């Protein structure tokens, strides 16, 4: 999940994601938590399906995807419409734990060779996705990247995922509003937003 998504002075949010807020903070121990909150008109079940089914995930998150929902399951995905599941440069996010319609915890298990980050650095991060039903036909989706340390490698990754995740959440908002991603057009934008080199 890509991540599934940094210390920008101002975070520009597309119109489709007008209810997106940056709520990042530091823990008491000094570690940074990169956090975004998106409020959408959707049910928990609709949001859950967007994250945990192949059909849902390809509607906004990646051109090609396969989700194996289980503890230690996997979300394997690629922004390239020409990719196939099992390709060596697919993004792989391990499902650490989940509670249906409420919680999804991910760990990036594989950094593509053309990606901008070191596996040893991204291994320190866990992505926690929480779905809160607000009770009026809307839900709040909170994505927290937990475990950011100090130093240039963490700084670069934090900046990258903050901007990239805002782009991805905009696509999620569009999808939940009825507009599927057009990967023939959107693949380059998404790849650029997360910094994957061509």
In this prediction, residue 67 carries a pLDDT of 98
The owner of tokens 């080199």 is 197
In this prediction, residue 107 carries a pLDDT of 95
pLDDT mean across residues, the chain: 85
pLDDT of 127 higher than 90 = yes
Residue of 25 and 121 predicted with greater confidence: 25
In this prediction, residue 121 carries a pLDDT of 86
pLDDT of 135 higher than 60 = yes
pTM of the predicted protein model: 0.84
Task: Give the model's confidence band at 110: pLDDT under 50 very low, under 70 low, under 90 confident, else very high.
Answer: confident
Instruction: Report the share of the chain in percent with pLDDT over 70.
Output: 83
Are 134 and 144 in contact by the 8 Å Cβ rule? The answer is: no
List, for residues 61-89, the tens digit of each pLDDT value: 999 999 999 999 999 999 889 999 999 98
How many degrees, rounded to 5, is the angle at CA 2 between CA 187 and CA 184? 10
Task: Give the model's confidence band at 118: pLDDT under 50 very low, under 70 low, under 90 confident, else very high.
Answer: confident
For 15-187, the fitting CATH number among 3.40.50.150, 3.90.420.10, 3.30.530.20, 3.40.50.720 is: 3.30.530.20
Residue 34 in tokens: 């990169």
Range picked from 1-15, 108-122, 153-167 for highest mean pLDDT = 153-167
In this prediction, residue 59 carries a pLDDT of 96
Instruction: Report the share of the chain in percent with pLDDT over 90.
Output: 64
Residue 176 in tokens: 């939940």
Segments making up each domain of the chain, as ranges: 15-187
Cis ω for the linkage preceding 4 (within 30 of 0):
yes
Q: Label residues 152-185 b or e (16+ Cβ within 10 Å = b).
A: eebebbbebbbbbbbbbbbbbbbbbeeeebebee
In this prediction, residue 188 carries a pLDDT of 65
State the Cα torsion 152-158-164-165 to the nearest 10°. Answer: 170
CA atoms of 41 and 194, how far apart (whole Å): 26
**Residues, the chain:** 198
In this prediction, residue 164 carries a pLDDT of 85
Q: Which CA distances in Å does 35 have to 4, 28, 98?
A: 12, 16, 18
pLDDT of 148 higher than 90 = yes
């Amino acid at each position: 999940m890509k991540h599934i998504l940094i210390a920008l002075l101002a975070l520009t949010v597309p119109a489709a994601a007008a209810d997106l807020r940056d709520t990042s903070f530091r823990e008491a121990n000094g570690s940074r938590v990169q956090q975004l909150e998106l409020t959408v008109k959707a049910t928990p079940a609709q949001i859950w399906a967007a994250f945990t089914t192949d059909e849902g995930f390809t509607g906004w998150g990646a051109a090609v995807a396969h989700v194996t929902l289980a503890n230690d399951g996997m979300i394997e995905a690629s922004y390239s419409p020409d990719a196939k599941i099992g390709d060596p440069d697919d993004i792989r996010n391990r499902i650490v734990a989940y509670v249906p319609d409420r919680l999804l915890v991910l760990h990036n298990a594989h950094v593509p060779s053309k990606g901008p980050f070191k596996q040893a650095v991204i291994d320190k991060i866990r992505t926690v996705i929480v779905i809160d039903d607000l009770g009026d036909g809307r839900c709040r989706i909170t994505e927290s990247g937990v475990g950011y340390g100090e130093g240039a490698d963490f700084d670069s990754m934090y900046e990258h995922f903050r901007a990239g995740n805002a782009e991805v959440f905009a696509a999620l908002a569009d999808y939940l509003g009825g507009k599927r991603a057009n990967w023939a057009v959107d693949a380059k934008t998404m790849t650029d937003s997360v910094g994957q080199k061509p």
